[in-house]
Amino acid sequence: MASILGGAAASFVARVSIPTAALFPEPRPRTFDSSATNRSSVLSCSPFLSLGPLLYPSALRSPKWNPSATAMEDALASEPESVESQIEAASASAARKGEDVFAVVVIGSRQYIVFPGRFLYTQRLKGANVNDKIILNKVLLVGTRTKAYIGQPIVTNAAVHAVVEELGLDKKVSVFKYKKKKNYRRNISHRQPNTRIRILDIIGYEEYPANTIPVEVPA
């Protein structure tokens, strides 16, 4: 029975023939109407052709894109100075301010040369906290460009105003003790407390008798 069915199926396949053109049809050329309706439909179907222009002519004619000559000159004139010029101006002003006046003051048991605007580290000032303003009255000497006020031993009514900026510690100092043949070794470290102050102004020396500094004349 199976052999009979197989022979019939083979004979049916042999009699049925499918043309190649039906299996693989040739592509037909796409024709479009030249009317405005078809053109608009084709443009609307394409996602890239339907996008509008990025910049319109009106935007290019705006003052934002075409500034006038006066606006360009104002922009160039309003540019900030370079960093180098600002640093040079600041250093020059600081140098002039530092050269105007200086003083020698006594803090504790040490003498310090101070300039307005600069800071220095001293020993820990008792009772002084950060941002506290202090007055140094033991002024031994005040000097300017042309005069020197020499105290005997201090300059009367002269004072140095300062502000406390920081309370810190000095670098660590190690003390090592050793005794030979006694098995004795001791290593002790210590950091001395200090205070950082910034000099604000030197005042009150104008009425003290001054010594005029002679101007050096080149030979």
The per-residue pLDDT for 131 is 92
| Residues 153, 140 contacting (CB under 8 angstroms) | yes
Residue 98's pLDDT is 47
Determine if the pTM surpasses 0.95.
no
Q: Which two tokens stand for residue 125?
A: 């000032």
If you search the block for the tokens 């002024």, which residue do you land on? 139
Helix (H, G, I), strand (E, B) or coil at 128: coil
Phi, psi of 161 (to 5 degrees): -95, 135
- Label residue 22 exposed, middle or buried (CB < 10 Å: 0-12, 13-18, 19+): exposed
Helix (H) or strand (E) holding 36: helix 36-45
Convert 143-165 to b/e letters by CB count within 10 Å (16 or more is b). bbeebebebeeebeebbbebbbe
Which pLDDT score, from 0 to 100, does residue 48 have?
45
Which stretches of the chain score pLDDT less than 70? 1-99, 215-219
- pLDDT at position 212: 83
Q: What is the pLDDT of residues 137-168, one digit of tens each?
A: 999 999 998 899 999 999 999 999 999 999 99
Give the start-to-end residue ranges of the domains of the chain. Answer: 102-166+196-212
